[in-house]
Chains A and B, each alone.
Chain A
Amino acid sequence: MTEPSPPPVFLERRSYRRRRIMDALRLLPVAGVLLWLLPLFWPTAADGPDAPAPLAMSDAVVYVFFVWVVLILAGAALWWALRASADPTEGIVRDDR
């Protein structure tokens, strides 16, 4: 058995792109968490009379669903991009770097 050779420093363009798509995939839920945590900062009626007026429910609905749609579209786009750049010699799930 030979020792595993160190990974190459520079990747070819396509696998570089794939790595960044995977990075984006990993970051997507983080973005989702942050965006959906944003409603924590909205004023509510329980904050007392000095607080700004509570947000209208219709705006809240639009915001939550807008984030949802963005996440779904981003997820679908990343899936499509990953599939399009899929290297037949390199398994998608195998590559964990």
Chain B
Amino acid sequence: MASVNQLIAVSLGYVAFLFAIAFFAERAAARGRGGWLRSPLVYTLSLSIYCTAWTFYGAVGYAARSGMEFVTIYLGPSLVMIGWWWALRKLVRIGRVHRATSVADLISARYGKSNLLAIVVTVMAVIGVTPYIALQLQSVTLSLSIFSGPEGAGSLNQFRAAFWVAFGLAIFTVLFGTRNLNANERHDGVVIAIAVEAVVKLVALLAVGVFVVWGIAGGLGPMMDRIDTSPIGQWNMDRSRWVALTALSAAAFLALPRMFQVMVVENEDERHLQIASWAFPLYLMLMSLFVVPIAVIGLDLMPAGSNPDLFVLTVPLSEGRVGLATLSFLGGFSSATSMVIVATLALSTMMSNHVVMPVWLSARAEGAQVSGDVRDVVILARRASILMIIGLGYLYYRFSGGGAALAAIGLISFAGVAQFLPAMLGGIFWRGATRWGALAGLVVGFTVWVYCSLLPSFGPGAVLSVATFDNGLWGIGWLRPLALFGIEGIDPTVHAVAWSLTLNTAVFLIVSLVTFPEPLERLQGAQFVNVFDHSTQARGWDAALATSEDLMIMTQRILGAEEAQILFRAEARRQGVHGQLPEPTQAFLQHLERELAASVGAATAHAMISQLVGGASVSVQELMAVADESAQILEYSNRLEAKSDELTRTARQLREANQKLTALSVQKDAFLSQISHELRTPMTSIRSFSEILRDTEGLGEVEQTKYASIIHGEAIRLTRLLDDLLDLSVLENGQVSLNLDTGQLGDVLAQSILTAQAGSARHLEVVRHPGEDPVRLMTDLDRLNQVFINLITNAQKYCDAAEPRLEIDVRRTDTAVEVVFRDNGTPIAPEARALIFEKFARINDQDGSGAGLGLAICREIMTRLGGDITLDPTLKGNVFVVRLPQLAALAAQ
């Protein structure tokens, strides 16, 4: 018989081998040669952490006690995997898209990144999983004690052995589980170690099975006969347990934190899931293939009263197969260690992300961007959590005394974590699920589980008094822990599972129906439920409030300086910005949040960014996007409305333009008739007077002179008209050349007034303000003069006041010099104002002397001079303002 020391040496050698494999795998991955680490085979094998020491040892014991019932624990997961299309596909996609780090992270992210929910899930997971870790420690020490022979002086101290096992597991997990912070990066070392252990435990169980069937029983046929004649030779199934345990194991398979870790977090490629969908059931099938034969042979060979949980070891040992027993021990050891490592890893991520980090962040009021290396805090928190969880498992083992049958603890633990399922599945399939619904469901389910399953498991009188068992809590009969609502006779496990899950689901649904989700929650709900439609996160940060420097500093503290720089540089390149820092756009903030979420969880990342940005803003458009189809319709109708608005605007503009054109056309027609009249009137008089001069004999000197001067005057008028037309056309075509000169504005004005009044018979009083600043100009003074003359002449011609009066004022503004001409005539009608600067525009036709070109020429001149001329709307009189740019007006000297 192998001594314990030999066995310990073998175990240590095996552990050293695992360390080496994990180390080389990490090295290979770091050098980019880790492609083989990410094969579907490794993925499938890593899923095998579902098969813990409980299933390795316990299944045989289970079979020895209750026949085929053990298989339900495998049937549930097999169904879930085979039905991957229904739930797992979506779960994995959501986990990848939203970079979920754990079950708690997933649930909290779905329900509006609620950290309260994450904490509740974390605490529940720790309470649910700790007994399970204790179970693993127990199984390892129990199996070691088998080798140590009968209890006596030299026998193994189980508690000390358990301590060293726990210590070794903690070291391994800390070394390979917290190497990188990003929980979404694969823990290559851990995964490959688990895969190797998966092979070891399968080979061990198959080897024992083959030995039992062909070595002891003598082949398949005799084996079947022995099964039928054994104490478990008849189908003796509690039907409710068959259904309840299958459902429970399926639920636990989806909800167990460690399964989420290997199935979703460590998933590299969604196609691996498709292969695992049939390969993992194959693994489970092989794991359970020889369970019944081993149990039957164990019951047959071993003395009555020996522990059936250890038949896998004791049967080969009793046949003197020490090597086989050692292999079997390693198989059990592998099952226990791989489960503890992954479960601890998953729980420590949850602890550090959802308990430690939020506390740490809120403890420092300055927020994440101020001193302190977040990265170190996270890693430290994760390591401390690992030690704490394994420590808790050890303490539980120590104080529970390791008595209960293995399978019982396992089922209790399963029922505990299965409480996550309604919130989880409800969250990914039902948009109406709300945070309060999830919270209420979890709390109710968990409470029922604690009361009906966990506490009674310690036995009557331990935690719950015997009176409570018999008469219910506070003597209320329908609160008996094993007969809730007074319904007796249900199997205790079925009772606990059925009531806790039913009440959990019912409360979850009802509270979800009556509460109203927050905007972020609705947004996340839509993202999760419709993950296949749009795999993007649409969530608003008010990007303007963050500076790239702050973000960079914060990111460096979490991801490390190098990774942060790479991330920012890549974004800067994508944005086309030169240098290190990209613009803090909304898209970038979302990307950054997701990157951070992979390290510290969605809720913490959200909290950290909101500290910098100052709260998420969910815009109206995004909320509309939540409403999906109705939103699409709404968006469409909004677009239609916008388009129709635009069309209306365009139509109005067109109408205005058309009106203007029509008015101009009328003006033009009027002008043409006017100009023909203008041309014909002088032409007629020229022609008639020249005919008189030619044909009339004996005209007097005086008459001749009179007629000739009429002809001359008319010719001048014609020339002026033509000059104006020519002038305008030259100005409009930009062919004018300016004669720049310097001079005083006052002088120009004085000259204009003089010139304008010289040739006019009508009296116009021109008032100038005496105190005006002298303004020196650098412009074409002759052209400016022309504009002024035109304005004064217009006032002379058209001012219809009894005592016509024109005030001329000079104003200085910041950018221009304004010369204001204000007369006291009748204001020009508003509809005419838009037209008076157009060519051929004539306000009143009673005087045929103007051709309607003056103001058009003025405007052209002022444009050329860099200024403009406008008609300011007033109630009394007309105010023309001539603006000269500052450049033209030199500082007064």
> Which residues does A use to contact B, with CB under 8 Å?
1, 3, 22, 25-26, 28-30, 32-33, 36-37, 39-40, 42-46, 54-61, 64-65, 68-69, 71-73, 75-76, 79, 82-83, 92-94, 96
Contact = CB atoms under 8 A, between A and B. Distances in A.
B640 to A, nearest CB: 11
A71 B237 contact: no
A32 to B, nearest CB: 5
A32 B278 CA distance: 13
B510 interface: no
A92 B281 CA distance: 22
Nearest to A43: B235
Interface string B51-85: 00000000000000001100100010011101101
Contacts of B225: 58
A3 B289 CA distance: 56
A90 to B, nearest CB: 13
B405 interface: no
A64 B234 CA distance: 14
B85 A61 contact: no
A69 B282 CA distance: 8
B277 A57 contact: no
A42 B532 contact: no
A56 B228 contact: yes
A22 B84 CA distance: 11
Contact of A46 (B78, B236, B279): B236
A49 B458 CA distance: 36
Contacts of B85: 22, 25-26
B11 interface: no
Given A57-B292, A79-B274, 19 more contacts: A39-B235, A39-B237, A40-B242, A40-B243, A44-B237, A54-B234, A54-B235, A56-B233, A56-B234, A57-B68, A57-B227, A58-B224, A61-B292, A65-B285, A65-B289, A72-B281, A75-B277, A75-B281, A79-B277
A1 B257 CA distance: 43
Contacts, number: 112
29 contacts: A1-B639, A3-B636, A28-B82, A29-B82, A30-B83, A32-B83, A36-B79, A37-B243, A39-B235, A39-B237, A40-B243, A42-B235, A44-B234, A45-B234, A54-B234, A55-B234, A57-B68, A57-B232, A58-B225, A58-B228, A60-B68, A61-B292, A71-B82, A72-B82, A73-B278, A75-B277, A75-B278, A79-B274, A93-B270
A72 B278 contact: yes
Nearest to A37: B243
Interface string B141-180: 0000000000000000000000000000000000000000
B86 interface: yes
B578 interface: no
Nearest to B283: A72
Q: Which of A3, A36, A40, A61 has the largest number of chain B CB atoms within 10 A?
A: A61
B239 interface: yes
A45 to B, nearest CB: 5
A33 to B, nearest CB: 6
Nearest first, the 6 closest Cβ-Cβ pairs linking A and B are A29-B83, A75-B278, A55-B235, A58-B224, A54-B234, A76-B278
B893 to A, nearest CB: 64
B532 A57 contact: no
B833 interface: no
B802 to A, nearest CB: 67
Contact of B228 (A57, A76, A83, A92): A57
B398 interface: no
Given A1-B639, A65-B285, A94-B532, A44 B82 contact: no
Given A44-B236, A93-B89, A58 B82 contact: no
B236 A54 contact: yes
A60 B237 CA distance: 11
Measured as residues with beta carbon below 8 angstroms from the partner, the interface class of chain B is: 35 or more
A73 B85 CA distance: 17
A71 B230 contact: no
B233 A57 contact: yes
A51 to B, nearest CB: 11
Given A40-B243, A44-B237, A79-B278, A32 B79 contact: yes
B642 interface: no
B246 interface: yes
Contacts of B768: none
B281 A45 contact: no
Interface string B81-95: 011011001000100
A75 B239 CA distance: 27
A32 B246 contact: no
B275 interface: yes
A45 B242 contact: no
Nearest to A28: B82
Contacts of B93: 93
B237 A57 contact: no
Nearest to B89: A93
Q: Which of A37, A59, A68 has the largest number of chain B CB atoms within 10 A?
A: A68
Given A54-B234, A56-B235, A61 B68 contact: yes
A64 B246 CA distance: 13
A58 B225 CA distance: 8
A32 B85 CA distance: 14
A27 to B, nearest CB: 9
A80 B82 CA distance: 14
Contacts of A60: 67-68, 235
A29 B79 contact: yes
A1 B640 CA distance: 11
B75 A36 contact: yes
A30 B639 CA distance: 45
Contact of B274 (A39, A54, A82): A82
Contact of A28 (B67, B83, B224, B532): B83
Contacts of B82: 28-29, 32, 71-72, 75
Contacts of A82: 274
A76 B278 CA distance: 6
